[in-house]
Amino acid sequence: MSGSELYAWGDGMTIDLRHWLGEAVTAMGRWQDTYGPYPAHPSLQVTDEDLGEALARLTDRLQDNYPFFHPRYAGQMLKPPHPAAIIGYVAAMQVNPNNHALDGGPATAAMEKEVVARLATMFGYGDHLGHLTSSGTIANLEALFVARESHPGKGVAFSAESHYTHGRMCGVLGVEGHKVAVDDRGRIDLGALEDLLRGGRIGTVVATAGTTGLGAVEPVHEILTLARRYGARVHVDAAYGGFFTLLAGEYGIDRAPWRAVAGCDSIVVDPHKHGLQPYGCGAVLFRDPAVGRFYVHDSPYTYFTSDELHLGEISLECSRAGAAAAALWLTFELLPPTREGLGQVLAAGRRAALRWAGLIEQSPALELYQPPELDIVTYFRAAESLTEIDAASARIMTQGMNDPGDPVFLSVLKVSAEAFGRRIPEVRADADGARVLRSVLLKPEHEEYVGTLHARVEKLAN
C-alpha cells in the first residue's frame, strides 16, 4: 500500500486522498462563491514560489517522525487518522467554525450533538449531556469538575495504574485525590477501595476501562456496586479503551464491566485514538443532563442567534474546533460506532494482540508480562534478574528503532519489583523495578503483520 492511497477498504478498494481533498476544497469554494467576489487584502498575499519553498522546508522537517502509519510502528498510541476524518476536517477547516456557540458554527455544532448522541448510544446512555473536547485530559477535568460540584468537600479515588491526569486534575480543582492499590492484573484493588470508601471522604470513584500502560479493564460492575453502597459517584475513564465496548463478550473481552458503564455517572472516551480521528478529539458524557447547572455562566456577546443549547453553555472550554466534529461526523457516516462498523477495526487489533501473545508464550527468547485484555501487549526478554530484563528491553527498543534496513518501533513500560514479582516470582528482584517491552497494536494492519513483528523482535532478543 502506498502513502498516496493511505487506506484500503474491502476488496482492495482504495481511497484516493488527493482526489477527495480536492473535492472538499472545490465544494467549499462553490459555497464561498455564493456570497460574491471581494478583493483579497495585499497583506495576506504570498507568491507561489515562496509558498512552494516554505512547504518544501516543512515537509522535509516533518520527515523527522516515526512511521506511525506503518505496522512496523508498534510503540505508543499513535496512528494517522482515517482519510474520511482528514477530508471532513479539511472541508470544515476552510470555514474554521468555533463550536463554542451556534453563532460560531451552526452546522458543526449540530454535527457535534449528533456524534455525541451516537457515542452515548454506544455506551448505553439514554438521556445525557455531553460534548467533544480538545483532549482526554480536558474531558477528565470536566468530569472531575462535575464530581466536585456534585459532592462538595469529598475526594476522588482512582487506582495507582490510572492515568496521571486524575491526580493532576484533582490538584487543579483543589480536590483531595486518593491513589488506590492495584491487584495482580493492574486493576484497582476492591478491598483497598472499600476500606477507603468506609471513611466517608470519597465522593467519586474513577474506574479505568483500559489503562494506558497495560490496557487493563477495571471491574466497573463491582466498582459501581461498592460506590453506590457508600453514596459515591462513578466516573469511567475510557479514554483509551472505550470503543472496545463494541466487542464486549467477544475475543475474550468480559461483557460485565462494559454493561455496567451505562449505570455510571460520567464517561470519557477519546475518538482520536480508536475512533480514527486526528488530535485533538476527546469526549465527555454525563448520564444526568441536570449536571448542566454546574456550567451556568453569562457571556454578554455570545449565545444570541438561537434559543437552542449552545455547546459552550455546557463546557469548560470556550473556543473549540468545529472541524473536529465534522471529521468525526463524516467518519461515523462511513464507519459507525457499531459492532459491524468501527467494531471490526478494533477486532483486528484485538486478534493481533491475542496472536502475538500466543507466539510469545511459545518463544524460548521472550516471555509475556501479562495477557492482553485489549490490544496492548507487554513482554520481555527472558532472563534471571530484573537488571538483565531492564537492560535487554532498552537494548531491543533502541536497536530496533535505529536499524536502517529493518526497523521496528516499540515502547517500554517501567514496572515495580513488587508488580513483577506478583506475575513472575522466579525472576530475581535485584532492582526496584525494570522496563518491559510494550506494543500497542492500534492499527488493523497489525493483524496481518504481527508474525513479522514477532520474528523481528525475537531476532533482536537473541
Least-confidence region, from 84-93, 102-111, 140-149, 164-173: 102-111
With bands split at pLDDT 50, 70 and 90, how would you rate the model's confidence at 81? Answer: very high
Whole-angstrom CA distances from 35 to 32, 64, 91 are: 6, 42, 18
CB 311, CB 322: distance < 8 Å: no
pLDDT of residue 302: 61
pLDDT tier at 297, thresholds 50, 70, 90: low
Say what percent of the chain tops pLDDT 90.
89
**pLDDT exceeds cutoff 80 at 8:** no
Note the pLDDT tens digit of each residue in 372-425. Answer: 999 999 999 999 999 999 999 999 999 999 999 999 999 999 999 999 999 999
CA atoms within 13 Å, Cβ hemisphere of 10: 4
Handedness of CA 40, 43, 44, 47 (dihedral sign): positive
200-257 residue pLDDT tens:
999 999 999 999 999 999 999 999 999 999 999 999 999 999 999 999 999 999 999 9
Give the CA distances from residue 247 to residues 122, 222, 347, 359, in Å, rounded to whole numbers and listed in that order: 11, 20, 7, 23
pLDDT at 298: 64
What is the reported pLDDT for 306? 61
How do beta strands 433-440 and 411-416 pair? Answer: antiparallel
Q: CA 312 to CA 303: how far, in whole Å?
A: 9
Among residues 89, 93, 73, the alpha carbon closest in space to that of 81 is found at 89
* Nearest one of 415, 446, 410 to 74, comparing CA atoms: 410
Q: Quick one: which of 164, 180, 139 has its CA closest to 275? A: 139
Residue 9 has pLDDT above 60, yes or no: no
Res. 304: pLDDT tops 70: no
The answer to whether the beta carbons of residues 20 and 86 sit under 8 Å apart is: no
pLDDT at 348 over 80: yes
| Distance separating alpha carbons of residues 98 and 456, to the nearest angstrom | 46
Q: What is the CATH code of the structural domain delimited by 342-461?
A: 3.90.1150.170
DSSP codes joined into one string, 231-291 = T-EEEEE-TTTGGGGGGTTSTT--HHHHHHGGGSSEEEE-TTTTT-PPS--EEEEES-GGG
Which fold would CATH assign to domain 106-334? Aspartate Aminotransferase; domain 2 (3.40.640)
Grid cell of 351 as nine digits: 486478534
| Tens of pLDDT, residues 143-163 | 999 999 999 999 999 999 999
Whether 270 and 239 have beta carbons less than 8 Å apart is answered as yes
Q: Is the pLDDT of residue 111 over 70?
A: yes
Question: Is the pLDDT reported for residue 263 higher than 60?
Answer: yes
Grade residue 11 by pLDDT with cuts at 50, 70 and 90: very low
pLDDT digits (tens, 9 = 90+) for 266-283: 999 999 999 999 999 999
Phi and psi at 151, nearest 5°, equal -130, 70
Asked whether the beta carbons of 273 and 77 are under 8 A apart, the reply is: yes
| Cβ contact 232:203 at 8 Å | yes
The whole-number average pLDDT for the span 157-181 is: 96
* Angle, helices 220-229/190-198, rounded to nearest 10 degrees: 20
Q: Packing angle between helix 165-173 and helix 136-150, nearest 10 degrees?
A: 50
Closest by CA to 440, choosing from 165, 73, 135, 81, is 73
Q: What is the mean pLDDT of residues 67-81?
A: 96
- Averaged pLDDT score across all residues of the chain: 94
CA distance 409 to 440: 10
- Candidates 426, 424, 394; CA nearest to 412 is 394
For the chain, which residues make up each domain, given as ranges? 106-334, 342-461
Quick one: which of 401, 419, 298 has its CA closest to 73?
A: 401
Model confidence at 429, pLDDT cuts 50, 70, 90, reads very high
Dig out the grid coordinates for 213 from the structure. 500502560
| Residue-level pLDDT at 305 | 65
Provide mean pLDDT across the span 436-447. 97
Contact between 258 and 248 (Cβ < 8 Å): yes
Which residue blocks in 100-245 are alpha helix, DSSP H? Answer: 106-123, 136-150, 165-173, 190-198, 220-229
* Length, in residues, of the chain: 462
